[in-house]
Structure 1
């Protein structure tokens, strides 16, 4: 039920006279409010020419919602109830305060008989070895526990929906927004604190020494089209990796990604967000073998985002035509791997971005070659100097050369700032609470 830009031009001043109340079949009560009480930003639509999500009819979210489908929520239960209410009608969901998807705690999800101490004893590499995946009673109980957590922390976003934080301090902690098989979704002005996986799986065959693997991205765009993610802050919050223990000599990783755009997703604009303090941050395309689904899709625009102290995947790209311009990348003091990952059949254009790298880290590290694919990189600056990122990479990694020329020229841009202006502009305006 997407409406044209012309029809929606006056949506920010829309006035509806009635109020209504919707009571969900869950125990949560969701209150519908008049549009007079909805800040103008709840009715904002993606401007014309603003990235890939502006093409093919544009992205308007729930800007056409009536009063009965405009909700204010203050709890995770109310939020999920609002997502389920109202059928296929456009909706606006205003998030007030911080919604706690993890309030119940990990113990609430444990299957009867699951015991982490027993899990550690059963799959200790000294006992189990490193040449076969784990199996048996405790692994089955771990998986059952994980299923319970997934049901509690995932929220599925339907088509024609706008989700917007109210004020400067709105957000979601421990929840995973699933934008799956939907069209026309807007998410703005939220601080999204990464979910903590209560039940990571030990995989002794992952790499030379094994690894703990976790689930739950803060947001996933899966098979969806026309999605606008704007002025959000993605963070590990109170639980960065530095606070996590190690078992079997490996970090007990409880985080997955901050944002994944995968499995045939298409026409996505990611603008004015902060991605902070994370390892594997942003993935576009999840598998080299997904060409049948992803080829010709995964068209994503990234502009005016701040990637602060992230280790890698900012983003890692497969298949898609990705336009990344006017982003600022501030690498951590230690542990930095790369920013742009060049993957299978990707066509990345990286223009007028700014990179702040610590001493001892060369500009060649910005690009990482995973598979043979062409790249366009122009007008980028590293530590205040204009740098040819492809030449820098090829000089530092001569056995893994990158090929210049992505083969396409982005046109869906509202304007490109000089890379010298990117750090102050992005620093002032990106992230939740700074919506204009």
Structure 2
């Protein structure tokens, strides 16, 4: 009945594993402790370099690099991963090494269903021919859907504490179906993971959403919510086995089971996202989630995006509200025939500085569409290249889309940049080095 089928956890286990008991308390042999001593290229002990984006501001970002051996955990299952996150370290830094792929929905959608929930009954009850399109859905099946969604949320959301480094071991470490929640904490590093977007098992039908209604889903692969000094590096964000093109349609609308890949919201500040891959997704990366959030967001949402690959994404790469966002040296690939709306979304009180990025656009897709004006806000876009040639993105946008005239000049100049490459080198450089499994 459900369109989602969970895959088995990939096999793989380190020879020495710091296990967790059922209560989440760490125990290890002397040999395992010895294995936790950092080597010269121990990714878990690396910290954000000085001057590398907004996350290097002030004291910088060190995550769990200084963790004592008893606070280093190696995990091979989602349950042990969550236990390692919840382990009481007394506020001391921790390192969590991920081996293989952790499956947050190993039991499938059926394991979250509340007693009495029936998707076929849901479809029959809220069919627009029966329910109409003027009133939000309500009643027993909607209540059971909400209860089922609550069970899924409790299972797949993983709260990341302060002073934590999460790092994938080797080339095949990752998480499927999980949502990393970095909320109201400081000093977090996440590196070298392939994050397959969680599938919402229980999207809600909203007949009042637009002219024809829409299915709305929850769960981002990663959320940075009210947190500071976060470094997100060399990860791959993808819809993986379940691209939007594979999702079914009900009531004539796509049964949307994806939300975002990365959201940075609600007063989050001093974030660097570097050398990541964002692939094959619709609403990809949102910075600031509400025009009415000035109380939490004004003066914050300072984010650096550099050397990231955005490939096959439809929109929000990123969409920005409020923040001073430095987007430089990213490579954006729009594939022939894919849905494409825009790349940079200029939102309420945003101050986006987009410099020395490169874009690969197919024939028929104009560079004027790279920028999208949602609200009046100044933007800097300089030194960018499209298909190997320099293009003034603001000028071409204003010339071809006069109803959305953009104002040049974001009013600030980024200074926290560890390296700046010629944008003509980015297609080769970023494609070869961005994403999980590329750190050595």
Q: TM-score range by the shorter chain?
A: over 0.9
SS in 2 for 1:234: strand
1:25 pairs with one of 23, 26, 29: 23
Q: Once superposed, what is the RMSD of the aligned Cα atoms?
A: 1.6
1:332 positional shift: 2.9
- The 8 Å contact of residues 30 and 73 in structure 1, kept in 2 or not, is answered as no
2:54 alignment partner in structure 1: 52
5+ residue gaps, structure 1, are 1-18
User: Residue 336 in 1 paired to residue 334 in 2?
Assistant: no
Equivalent in the alignment of 1:73:
75
Aligned partner of 1:291 in structure 2 is 294
Whether the 8 Å CA contact 2:114–2:148 is kept in 1: the answer is: yes
Q: Is the 8 A contact 2:24 2:84 kept in 1?
A: no
How far off its partner does 1:24 sit? 4.5
Q: Does 2:216 correspond to 1:213?
A: yes
Which 4+ residue blocks in structure 1 deviate beyond 4 angstroms? 19-22, 26-32
Partner of 2:12: none
Could you tell which deviates more after superposition, 30-39 or 316-325?
A: 30-39
State how far apart, in whole Å, the 1-side matches of 2:387 and 2:18 are.
Answer: 54
In the alignment, which residue of structure 2 is the partner of 1:273?
Answer: 276
Match status 1:368 vs 2:375: no
Query: Aligned pair count?
Result: 418
Partner secondary structure for residue 406 of structure 1: coil
1:125-146 deviation digits (Å, cap 9, x = unpaired): 1111111111111000000000
Superposed displacement of residue 89, structure 1: 1.4
Q: CA contact under 8 A between 2:25 and 2:87: conserved in structure 1?
A: no
1:307 equivalent among 302, 310, 332: 310
Where does 1:237-276 land on structure 2 (aligned, <5 Å)?
A: 237-276=240-279
Partner of 1:188: 191
Cα distance in 2, alignment partners of residues 48 and 223 from structure 1 = 23
C-alpha displacement of 1:37: 6.3
Which residue of 343, 354, 375 corresponds with 2:358? Answer: 354
Deviates most, 160-169 or 331-340: 331-340
Mapping of residues 72-151 of structure 1, within 5 Å: 72-87=74-89, 88-151=91-154
Q: Which residue of 2 aligns with 1:235?
A: 238
Other-structure match for 1:12:
none
Note if contact 2:18-2:27 (Cα within 8 Å) is conserved in structure 1: no
* Structure 2 segments unaligned to the other structure (5+ residues): 1-16
User: SS of the residue aligned with 2:404?
Assistant: coil
- For 1:363-402, what aligned pairs fall within 5 Å after superposition? 363-402=367-406
Q: What is the TM-score when the length of structure 2 is the normalising length?
A: 0.93
Whole-angstrom CA distance in 2 between matches of 1:24 and 1:94: 19
1:67-126 C-alpha deviation (Å, 9 max, x unpaired): 000010000001000001133210000000000101011000000110001101111111
Q: Distance in 2 between matches of 1:72 and 1:20?
A: 5
Change over 3 Å in CA distance of 1:252–1:28 after alignment to 2: farther
TM-score, normalization: structure 1? 0.93
Decide whether aligned partners of structure 1 residues 26 and 116 sit closer, same or farther in structure 2, where only a CA change above 3 A counts: farther
